[in-house]
């Protein structure tokens, strides 16, 4: 046991007498240990006596009674650390840095994406989709047809980083504080981004971005399922084929494809009253062309000989 301090007041050794449980020799050893360091906890005294290779049959309560009788009991609270060092203090110098930007991790991630040139293929595909739309519809005129590549990139970045900034709905751009100004160079209102999304759908950007947004490595088997997204309302509506008490299945039907690793590959939305067998062949044809995987696993919603023949005819 390391001796940290001496107590000069208690140098006079008391008289020891053998008790019913603690002998005279054991009391002398305990007094020696406690006199060397009166602030030592009683539990550490037991460990120190074990290091002396002396078998002492004594409990913590008995040690505390002896300390009180000898005047060697320590004060309340935890013992002070050597040198006055607190537990939370560091031996070295601490430097506290307060960042001037919020969501610093998103800024670092955005800088890494810029170094990887991750948005250039997206902008190129969008530009091609816009040019193709101009050739097909000469008389149409809206904002997206005049966007420069830099504007397309900023709009897409605003939508891409929105979930990372804690924005779950486009309306949050108007009501929540976000660092979009320092992230992409300027801020946007929800009306601007909502208009941008509508115009992307108008030019068919989903088909153009499909090769870019697909994962590089896709599993061998593709699983397809069509869960219903419920729509809650108290108004009278067409319920469709699937109904539950208090819930109206008139929202949408999302047909989702993913591989055996759980990686989502393709999502398409259809009306809930449209049976999946009417669109499944064309849906799987798009997924097969984009991924190169012709093997699909689908539930019994498409269990029919006619659909099997249609899949076989498409290869």
Domain shared by 226 and 270, yes or no: yes
The H-or-E segment that residue 44 falls in is helix 42-51
**Highest mean pLDDT pick, 26-35, 91-100, 193-202, 218-227:** 193-202
In a domain, 87, yes or no: no
Task: Name the pTM for this structure.
Answer: 0.48
Write the secondary structure of 96-142 as one string of H (helix), E (strand) and C (coil): CCCCCCCCHHHHHHHHHHHHHCCCHHHHHHHHHHHHHHHHHCCCCCC
In a domain, 2, yes or no: no
Share of the chain above pLDDT 70, in %: 72
Q: What is the spatial distance between Cα 112 and Cα 118, in angstroms, rounded to a whole number?
A: 9
How many separate domains does the chain show?
Answer: 3
Residue 122 lies in a domain: yes
In a domain, 208, yes or no: yes
Q: By mean pLDDT, which of 67-76, 168-177, 230-239, 284-293 is the weakest?
A: 230-239
Does residue 94 lie within any of the structural domains?
no
Same domain flag for 194 and 227:
no
User: 228-231 and 264-270 as β-strands: parallel, antiparallel, unpaired?
Assistant: unpaired
pLDDT-derived band at 185, boundaries 50, 70, 90: confident
Provide the pLDDT for residue 150.
Answer: 92
Domain that holds residue 112: 104-213
- Is residue 149 domain-shared with residue 189, that is, in the same domain? yes
Answer whether residue 124 is part of any domain: yes
On whether both 119 and 188 belong to a single domain, the answer is yes
Question: Does 149 map to a domain?
Answer: yes
State which of 189, 213, 237 marks the end of a domain: 213
My answer on whether 284 and 237 are in the same domain is yes
Give 102-150 pLDDT, tens digit per residue. Answer: 788 888 999 999 998 989 989 999 999 999 999 998 888 899 999 999 9
**Which residues fall within 8 angstroms of residue 307, CB to CB, at 6 or more apart?**
277, 280, 281
| Mean pLDDT, residues 170-196 taken together | 87
Final residue of a structural domain among 184, 213, 242: 213
Tell me, yes or no, whether 112 and 201 share the same domain: yes
d(CA 171, CA 179): 15
Alpha-carbon separation of residue 236 from 175, 232, 241, 250, 272 (angstroms): 33, 11, 15, 11, 16
Domain match, 186 and 237 both = no
Of 213, 240, 265, which residue is a domain's last? Answer: 213
- Report the pLDDT averaged over residues 292-312: 84
297 within some domain? yes
Clarify whether residues 278 and 200 are in a common domain.
no
> Both 125 and 195 in a single domain?
yes
- Tell me 8's DSSP state: G
pLDDT at 10: 44
The most confident of the ranges 28-37, 81-90, 209-218 is 28-37
Does residue 293 share a domain with residue 231?
yes
* Selection from 98, 99, 100, 103 nearest residue 178 by Cα: 103
């Amino acid at each position: 046991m390391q001796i940290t301090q001496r107590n000069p007041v208690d140098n006079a050794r008391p008289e020891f007498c053998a008790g019913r449980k603690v002998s005279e020799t054991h009391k002398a050893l305990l007094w020696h240990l406690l006199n060397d360091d009166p602030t030592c906890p009683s539990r550490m005294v037991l460990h120190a006596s074990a290091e002396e290779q002396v078998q002492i049959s004594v409990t913590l309560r008995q040690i505390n009674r002896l300390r009180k009788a000898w005047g060697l009991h320590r004060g309340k609270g935890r013992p002070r650390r050597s040198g006055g060092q607190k537990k939370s203090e560091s031996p070295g110098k601490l430097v506290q840095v307060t960042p001037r930007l919020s969501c610093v991790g998103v800024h670092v991630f955005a800088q890494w994406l810029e170094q990887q040139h991750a948005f250039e293929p997206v902008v190129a595909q969008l530009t091609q989709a816009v040019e193709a739309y101009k050739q097909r519809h000469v008389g149409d005129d809206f904002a997206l047809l005049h966007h420069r590549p830099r504007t397309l990139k900023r709009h897409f970045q605003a939508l891409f980083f929105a979930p990372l900034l804690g924005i779950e709905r486009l309306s949050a751009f108007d009501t929540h504080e976000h660092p979009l100004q320092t992230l992409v160079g300027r801020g946007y209102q929800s009306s601007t981004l909502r208009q941008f999304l509508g115009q992307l759908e108008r030019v068919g950007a989903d088909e153009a971005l499909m090769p870019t947004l697909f994962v590089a490595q896709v599993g061998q088997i593709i699983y397809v399922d069509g869960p219903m997204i419920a729509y809650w309302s108290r108004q009278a509506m067409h319920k469709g084929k699937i109904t539950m008490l208090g819930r109206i299945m008139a929202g949408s039907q999302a047909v989702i494809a993913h591989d055996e690793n759980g990686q989502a590959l393709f999502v398409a939305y259809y009306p809930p009253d449209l049976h999946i067998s009417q669109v499944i062949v064309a849906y799987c044809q798009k997924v097969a062309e984009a991924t190169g995987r012709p093997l699909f696993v689908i539930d019994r919603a498409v269990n029919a000989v006619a659909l099997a023949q249609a899949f076989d005819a498409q290869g």
